[in-house]
Amino acid sequence: MGLRWYHFTAWGLFAIGLALLPEIVSKGTLRTFIFANYLVIFAISWDLLSGRTGYISFGHPFLIGIGAYTSAILTKRFGIDVELAIPIAVIVTMIGGLIVLLPALRIRGSYFALVTLAFMELMYQLVQVIRPDLTGGTRGMSGIQTLTRGAVNGFYFSSFLMFVIAISSWFLLRTRIGTALTAIGLNESAVEGSGLSVTKLKMFAFMASAFVAGLGGAFYVHYLGSLAPRALFDINFVFTIIVAVLIGGASTIIGPIIGALFLTFLLEYLRPYLPGAERYFIYGGIALLLYMYQPKGIYALITSGWQMLQEKSVK
Amino acid sequence: MTLALEIKNLVKTFGGLTATDNLNFDIKEGRSVGLIGPNGAGKTTVFSQIMGELQQTSGQISLFGTDLGTLPTSKRIRLGVSRTYQIPRPFLELSVVENIRVGLMPNSIWSMIIKGPDHTKEEKLALEVGLAETDFEKPASELSMGDLRKLELARTIATGAKVLLLDEVFAGLTTGEIAQISSLIQDLRAKGFTLLIVSHDLPALEPLIDHVIAIERGRIIATGNFKDVVNDESVRASYLGQAT
Ligand SMILES: Nc1ncnc2c1ncn2[C@@H]1O[C@H](COP(=O)(O)OP(=O)(O)O)[C@@H](O)[C@H]1O
Ligand SMILES: [Mg+2]
């Protein structure tokens, strides 16, 4: 797997940093970090599928929504314990996503993106039409059981979840499966031509992505305590996820972490100046800058900077 | 002797064009056969049908006695046939050893996750095809055409297939590289691989094969030992007006 001492050091420092953060920053900033943590989870979920295989999903809120709605409905409407509701929600996300999106994996490029986008919109319509007594229709749901109280508690909880997901995904992608998924993104037919079933691999990437999305969605709804369909099934939300991955650097795990943190705080500080749709200018601007100067994102900027420093110190 | 590959009444049409026209031939296990013909004769199309990248219009392809039917490419490779491409298809952003790693992977998600790569095997294959140790960690995008062909050969062999289809193996290579690839192919023959080789470079092809099949417009026009076939009237006529 090519593990080195500095990998452990980096993850260790990251964990320590998270543990110490509540001592350093204000409660308000900590709340922003909680949102950042969930965005990291969604970004990793997106990266597992799209960052690796090149199948760009515009429908991730669809998966996150299945996880969130399932757990919210099970706990609030049926009185099921949250410890049971969340695992069920994750499984339902994987199955639901599989049934609906798998046919879409047969199509490539912009069509895949369009189909996933359509599913997100479809989900928005469905929660309003089908059993609004369960889903809460357009108004959504509130009074959903929360798992943590206060900013510090919520921060530790979401950090732990994010850390476990990040390090497991990172380990997973350092195995041969990571190489195979990257290869799909580079040349799908050559992967098939190496004797590997591309369908099986894409299905795996999809399941891993849905697993993380379902888990993140379910925990997120039990953090917020409410669910608003218009905010969830929103193109703005998809863009936030995708831009977070792209800023940080797709296909790296570290990238989505950096990107989600950066983007959350950027938007937080710019909030007074950006009441609404102006966000799109930020997204567009960032995407353009990245495209022109460093398509591989901040993480690549950091690593190439590091290499330059090392080369200098050698000389 | 068992038949490694058997092609019966193979037909492939593209709209009005018949690219493979009722083709029949077979290759005994361990033999090396040349497939020649002018540009557009239908050589690559035959490869694509054997691999299942193109589905034949009619006819039958069997590998070691098993009808390949409509099996997907990955399954055919597991049954023992693999190919290289006229224009190599590497994973440009992956390193040389990672490219070979993809070829060596078993088609099992579980084993991909729990078992690490076999670095010894990867490097051994890379050296066998003549790649330099200094290139192992280089991304494929930095390789020369000759090295790309070697890399593709390594990935193809890595799949474990014993029947190899080599398309235009010498195209775009220097004389030195041609010699290297030739001796590599001789090694493969010695190891008992079954080979079907397409090449426009007939002098380079001659020492590598047991016999040759010449096709034109998807039909066999001559078959037999190399000298007889290249001196055949219809073969000479088919190549006329075309640089070989
Ligand atoms: N996918 C395709 N669609 C339409 N025509 C094709 C296709 N592939 C090959 N052909 C045609 O089939 C004929 C044989 O092509 P090919 O097998 O590539 O020849 P060769 O490899 O002998 O040069 C050519 O006339 C070519 O234009
Ligand atoms: Mg050809």
Q: Are strands B211-216 and B32-36 parallel, antiparallel or unpaired?
A: parallel
Q: Three-state DSSP class for B158?
A: helix
What is the residue with the minimal CA distance to atom 18 of ligand 1?
Answer: B44
Residues in Cβ contact with A77 at an 8 Å cutoff, skipping those fewer than 6 apart: A134
A residues 119..178 contacting B (CB < 8 A) = 172, 175-177
Ligand closest to CA B85: 2
Give the C-alpha separation, A312 to B17, whole Å: 62
- Region A217-221: mean pLDDT is 95
CATH number for the domain that contains residue B69: 3.40.50.300
Is residue A144, in this structure, part of any structural domain at all?
Answer: yes
Is residue B190, in this structure, part of any structural domain at all?
Answer: yes
Is residue B60, in this structure, part of any structural domain at all?
Answer: yes
The answer to whether the Cβ–Cβ distance between A196 and B105 falls below 8 Å is yes
Parent domain of A191: 5-234
Is residue A37, in this structure, part of any structural domain at all?
Answer: yes
Q: Is B43 in the pocket of ligand 1 (CB under 6 A)?
A: yes
Is residue B147, in this structure, part of any structural domain at all?
Answer: no
The answer to whether the Cβ–Cβ distance between B101 and A176 falls below 8 Å is yes
Q: Is B48 in the pocket of ligand 1 (CB under 6 A)?
A: no
Quote the percentage of chain B above a pLDDT of 90. Answer: 82
Beta pairing partners, A80 = none
Confidence of residue B1 (pLDDT cuts 50, 70, 90): low
Average pLDDT, chain B: 92
- Interface probe, candidates B47, B100, B105, B153, chain A, greatest A C-beta count within 10 A: B105
Give the C-alpha separation, A41 to B13, whole Å: 50
ipTM: 0.90
The answer to whether the Cβ–Cβ distance between B89 and A196 falls below 8 Å is no
CB B91 within 8 A of CB A189: no
- Region B193-200: mean pLDDT is 96
Q: Is the dihedral of CA B120, A195, A99, A57 positive or negative?
A: positive
The answer to whether the Cβ–Cβ distance between B105 and A180 falls below 8 Å is yes
Give the C-alpha separation, A57 to A97, whole Å: 12
Q: Is B100 in the pocket of ligand 1 (CB under 6 A)?
A: no
Chain B contact present for A207, CB below 8 A: no
Is residue B85, in this structure, part of any structural domain at all?
Answer: yes
Beta pairing partners, B23 = B10
Per CB-CB distance under 8 Å, the chain A contacts of B116 are 1, 175-176
The answer, yes or no, to whether residue B242 has pLDDT greater than 70, is no
Residues in Cβ contact with A56 at an 8 Å cutoff, skipping those fewer than 6 apart: A50, A112, A113, A242
Q: Is B42 in the pocket of ligand 1 (CB under 6 A)?
A: yes
Residues in Cβ contact with B231 at an 8 Å cutoff, skipping those fewer than 6 apart: none
Q: Which residue has the higher pLDDT, A315 or A62?
A: A62
Chain B contact present for A197, CB below 8 A: yes
pLDDT in the model for residue A198:
92
pLDDT in the model for residue B243:
47
Q: How many CA atoms lie within 13 A of A117 on its CB side?
A: 13
- Interface probe, candidates B101, B102, B113, chain A, greatest A C-beta count within 10 A: B102
Is residue B119, in this structure, part of any structural domain at all?
Answer: no
Strands (E), chain B: 3-14, 17-28, 32-36, 58-63, 66-67, 81-83, 163-167, 194-198, 211-216, 219-224
Ligand closest to CA B19: 1
Q: Among candidates A70, A43, A72, which has minimal Cα distance to A57? A: A43
Is residue B53, in this structure, part of any structural domain at all?
Answer: yes
pLDDT in the model for residue A179:
94
CA B14 to ligand 1 center in whole angstroms: 8
Per CB-CB distance under 8 Å, the chain B contacts of A197 are 72, 74-75, 107
- Region A133-159: mean pLDDT is 86
Residues in Cβ contact with A125 at an 8 Å cutoff, skipping those fewer than 6 apart: none
pLDDT in the model for residue A201:
94
Per CB-CB distance under 8 Å, the chain A contacts of B159 are 194-195
* Tally of domains within chain A: 1
Is residue A178, in this structure, part of any structural domain at all?
Answer: yes
Is residue A266, in this structure, part of any structural domain at all?
Answer: no
A50 min Cα distance to partner chain B (Å): 17
Please state the pTM of the whole predicted model: 0.89
Strands (E), A58-203: 141-142
CA A288 to ligand 2 center in whole angstroms: 40
Angle B110-B113-B116 from CA coordinates, rounded to 5°:
125
CB B94 within 8 A of CB A182: yes
Angle B31-B33-B38 from CA coordinates, rounded to 5°:
175
Is residue A288, in this structure, part of any structural domain at all?
Answer: no
Phi-psi region of B91 (alpha: psi -120 to 50; beta: other; left: phi over 0): beta
Give the C-alpha separation, B130 to B127, whole Å: 5
Residue pLDDT, tens place only, A228-238: 988 888 888 88
Give the C-alpha separation, A262 to B108, whole Å: 37
B156 min Cα distance to partner chain A (Å): 7
Residue pLDDT, tens place only, A150-204: 888 999 999 999 999 999 999 999 999 999 999 999 999 999 999 999 999 999 9
The two structure tokens encoding residue A255: 């990238």
Is residue B219, in this structure, part of any structural domain at all?
Answer: yes
The answer, yes or no, to whether residue A269 has pLDDT greater than 70, is yes
* Tally of domains within chain B: 1
Parent domain of B226: 3-89+162-243
pLDDT in the model for residue A107:
79
Is residue B10, in this structure, part of any structural domain at all?
Answer: yes
What is the residue with the minimal CA distance to atom 16 of ligand 1?
Answer: B42
A residues 246..275 contacting B (CB < 8 A) = none
The answer, yes or no, to whether residue B4 has pLDDT greater than 50, is yes
Give the C-alpha separation, A56 to A115, whole Å: 10
Nearest-atom index, ligand 1, CA of B37: 22
Per CB-CB distance under 8 Å, the chain A contacts of B73 are 192-193
